[in-house]
Every structure is written in C-alpha cells, then in structure tokens.
Amino acid sequence: MTISVGDTLPSARLTKVTAEGPEPVDSAEYFKGRRVALFAVPGAFTPTCSARHLPGYLDKAGELRAKGVDEIACTAVNDAFVLGAWAKQNGAEGVTMLADGNGEFASALGLDMDGSKYGMGKRSQRYAMVVNDGVVESLEVEAPGEFRVSSAEHLLTLL
C-alpha cells in the first residue's frame, strides 16, 4: 500500500550523510517536530536527478524555507558514501542527504520500483512530499519517465 496524505511516516532505517560520516537514523523519529520538503530520486549521478532534480531544490531552497519548510532532504536507494559524493560534487550543503541503501524506506512507503530492466535493481520512485511533524502533508509521485510534479518549482505551488 502506498503512503497517502494524512498518513504518518513509517519507521525505517536511513543513513544521514554528515561531515563526520554516516549517521544511522530512524525515519519515524527523524521527521518529528519539523516541516521537511523531502524529494526522492531513483539514483545519485543519474541524468535527470543530477541535471534537474537536485539543482532545482538547491536553486529554490530559500523560497521553500520562506514558505515554512525547516529542512530540505533528498533520499535515494544508494549508500551514504555515494550520496555524499553526489552532494559534494553538486555543492548541496543546503540539502540533507538520507541514504536508503537497502530500499527499506522506499518499500515502507510503497514507493519502490524495479529498475532491473535498466540494470539498477530495486530503487525509489521519483517523488516529492512535505512532511509536517512526521505526517505527510502533500505527496507528488511522478509517472514513470517523467519529471514535473516532484520538482521544487511544483512543490512551491503547493505550499
């Protein structure tokens, strides 16, 4: 079952990328007490994710914060070291990277996908959501192969 607006985020293991190294976090605990714009990409260093998705959130970070977002976070079914390298290459200091190395979070949300046809294995669908104190306030899931509703620009229109 796919998570919906009004649902509380489930508990799943994530790894936060920090300057001191990977930090394990529980998703249910991590999102409590703040309003987070969370976007998911199928993979770091992939074309749309690198050229449009992450840069859009970096460009619109100030506008998102001005609309009441406390934190901007990105998740992908990659390990913390890959997400850390991707963040560094893109100058993404303003975006918290949450690695979902085993796809547990994507599966718990019902937003996982099978990318085996492309040699990628199990991944996350591309989506964006606003999570307010652990509860899904808005959720925008992309149709396969598209990039529109999960963009920072679109998310801004919903805030």
CA 96, CA 145: separation in Å to the nearest integer?
A: 25
For residue 74, indicate whether it is catalytic. no
Query: What does the angle CA 15 – CA 44 – CA 113 come to, to the nearest 5 degrees?
Result: 80
Name the active-site residue from 49, 61, 69, 98.
49
Residue (of 159, 158, 157, 139) closest to 40 by Cα position = 139
Give yes or no for a contact between 13 and 26, defined as CB atoms under 8 angstroms apart.
yes
Query: What does the angle CA 64 – CA 19 – CA 79 come to, to the nearest 5 degrees?
Result: 85
CA 159, CA 138: separation in Å to the nearest integer?
A: 9
Catalytic residues: 49
